[in-house]
């Protein structure tokens, strides 16, 4: 029954967390009954090829799991834009996008408002309005991206091709699947990297809602413009890694490999900036001027951030290198216990 | 219009037609308790073709709508989830069958 276990583990990977165990147990009972029934007809247990054929007929894990998505929700605007298979991923993306916009958009504004003018509630209101305006294009972009993916899947029949080319015998063992890159981690990574790329693409000024309530805008100093392309490359490497891991969760060597590569790139790029000043410039287009003391504080904090960032990347790079080495070590072929070079076991 | 398009169109219309009828068939068959696999076998034996990928999720959906109730029980040393019509399901099935009969009678007159 190893093949059935591998299949059920793969289906579980795509099932909604809340009903995962229950659905898998029911599916297991039904498939087991079918296997028993066919075995009774043949008068012998099914072999692996016959079980594989039965599982293939049942459907690829992602398709089977997609049918269990609650309520078959879709996004429709005249015609269906996002179907029930992609909808759960789309809904997760929308929620993560909103959280990513709300937390950095509102919390600092309220904290700064409370510290400088004692008006956290009015700051909260202003920040909320700004976040709402920022959210509209962000949510629209997320929706368009998912609609394009859905269109591509339907137009080119990718899921059907995936289903027909799929072979249950290629599924990894449950133990190996347990070590796969988590789906939630890949989806969160895709959303975070996409939003970051969108922001960085237009990085002329740090979004003012993040930094000051006095109308001043904080810009990157010219020295930091050298970071533009390398940071974009780093973000695209991570974005590609998350997409690949969403399709190939078994490639668990990829996150540490990408992390190590981008850490090294980050160290090379950041090194010339250590001790460089100023890293930012401040302008007050229409608001109250920011005091020299506050400006010096921001300069100091950013300088420290660069130092700590460099140190952080060294540590993170070392962790990635260790993880990569560990995965490589685990993947090395080994002789079975007790075997010798000549294949003769010690007694 | 090409033959392929005709056949796609027919398949889509056929799917739409079958979708509602399958629900009626499943509800009617669950007047007696079944678990997923035996329900499918019985439906196929009665001439209602339905694949597992459609039936098993459908059972859970009908249960979440209150039309079915289920319980896990052991049979032949294996735990299985048995479904049967709920009281609300019985009432709805009665209405659906009456509706189906009306449509069928009208269609017979038209065709």
Q: Which two tokens stand for residue A305?
A: 């951030």
The residues that bridge with A76 in the sheet, in sequence order, are A80
Overall pTM surpassing 0.95 (yes/no): no
Check CB contact of B50 with chain A, cutoff 8 Å.
Answer: no
CA atoms within 13 A on the CB side of A170: 8
Cβ proximity of A52 and B74 under 8 Å: no
Q: Quote the radius of gyration of chain A (alpha carbons, Å).
A: 26
Please check the confidence at residue A118 and state whether its pLDDT lies above 70.
no
Average pLDDT over residues A199-207: 59
Taking alpha carbons only, the member of A103, A125, A130 closest to residue A113 is A125
SS3 A96: helix
Beta carbon pairs, A and B, within 8 Å: 46
pLDDT at B83: 96
DSSP symbols for A219-271: EE-GGGGGGHHHHHHHHHHHHHHHHHHHH-TT-TTHHHHHHHHHHHHHHHHHG
Check CB contact of A67 with chain B, cutoff 8 Å.
Answer: yes
Average pLDDT over residues A183-211: 68
Mutate to test the interface with A, among B39, B53, B55 (most CBs of A within 10 A): B53
Taking CA atoms, A136 is separated from A86, A101, A280, B37, in Å, by 21, 11, 29, 47
Please report which confidence band the pLDDT of residue A178 belongs to, taking 50, 70 and 90 as the band edges: confident
Please check the confidence at residue A216 and state whether its pLDDT lies above 70.
no
- pLDDT by residue (tens digit) across A50-61? 999 999 888 888
Asked if residue B8 has a cis previous peptide bond (ω within 30° of 0), the answer is no
SS3 A1: coil
Alpha carbons A295 and A39: distance in angstroms, whole number:
78
Mutate to test the interface with B, among A16, A18, A67 (most CBs of B within 10 A): A67
Residue in this structure with the two tokens 């919390």, named with its chain if needed: A107
Check CB contact of A23 with chain B, cutoff 8 Å.
Answer: yes
- pLDDT by residue (tens digit) across A5-51? 889 988 888 887 788 899 999 999 999 999 999 999 999 999 989 99
Q: How many CB atoms lie within 10 A of CB A287?
A: 14
């Amino acid at each position: 029954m190893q093949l059935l276990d591998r299949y059920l583990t793969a289906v579980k990977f795509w099932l909604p967390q809340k009903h995962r165990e229950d659905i898998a147990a029911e599916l297991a009972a039904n498939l087991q009954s079918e296997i028993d029934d066919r075995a009774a007809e043949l008068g012998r247990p099914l072999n692996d090829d016959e079980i594989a054929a039965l599982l293939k007929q049942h459907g690829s894990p992602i398709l089977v799991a997609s049918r269990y998505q609650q309520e078959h929700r879709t996004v429709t605007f005249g015609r269906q834009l996002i179907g029930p298979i992609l909808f759960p991923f789309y809904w997760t993306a929308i929620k993560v996008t909103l959280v990513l916009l709300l937390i950095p958009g509102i919390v600092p504004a309220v904290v700064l408002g409370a510290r400088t003018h004692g008006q956290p509630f009015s700051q909260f209101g202003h920040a909320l309005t700004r976040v709402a305006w920022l959210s509209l294009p962000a949510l629209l972009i997320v929706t368009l991206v998912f609609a394009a993916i859905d269109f591509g899947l339907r137009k080119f029949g990718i899921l059907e091709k995936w289903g027909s080319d799929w072979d249950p015998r290629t599924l990894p063992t449950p133990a190996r699947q347990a070590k796969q890159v988590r789906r939630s981690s890949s989806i969160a990574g895709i959303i975070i990297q996409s939003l970051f790329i969108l922001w960085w693409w237009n990085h002329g000024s740090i979004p003012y809602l993040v930094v000051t309530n006095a109308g001043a805008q904080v810009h990157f100093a010219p020295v930091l413009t050298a970071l533009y392309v390398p940071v974009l490359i780093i973000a695209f490497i991570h974005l590609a890694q998350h997409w690949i891991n969403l399709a190939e969760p078994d490639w668990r060597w990829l996150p540490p490999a990408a992390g190590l590569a981008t850490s090294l790139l980050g160290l090379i790029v950041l090194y010339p900036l250590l001790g460089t000043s100023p890293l930012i410039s401040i302008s007050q287009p229409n608001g109250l001027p920011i005091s020299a003391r506050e400006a010096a504080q921001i300069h100091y904090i950013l300088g420290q951030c660069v130092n700590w960032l460099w140190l952080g990347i060294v540590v993170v790079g070392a962790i990635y290198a260790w993880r990569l080495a560990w995965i490589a070590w685990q993947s090395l072929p080994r002789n079975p216990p007790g075997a010798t070079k000549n294949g003769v076991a010690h007694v | 219009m090409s033959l392929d398009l005709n056949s796609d169109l027919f398949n889509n219309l056929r799917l739409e037609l079958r979708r509602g009828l399958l629900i009626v068939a499943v509800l009617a068959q669950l007047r007696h308790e079944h678990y997923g696999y035996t329900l499918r076998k019985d439906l196929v034996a009665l001439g209602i073709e339905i694949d597992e990928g459609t039936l098993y999720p459908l059972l859970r959906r009908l249960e979440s709508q209150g039309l079915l109730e289920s319980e896990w029980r052991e049979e032949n040393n294996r735990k299985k989830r048995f479904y049967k019509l709920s009281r609300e399901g019985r009432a709805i099935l009665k209405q659906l069958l009456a509706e189906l009969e009306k449509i069928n009678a009208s269609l017979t007159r038209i065709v």
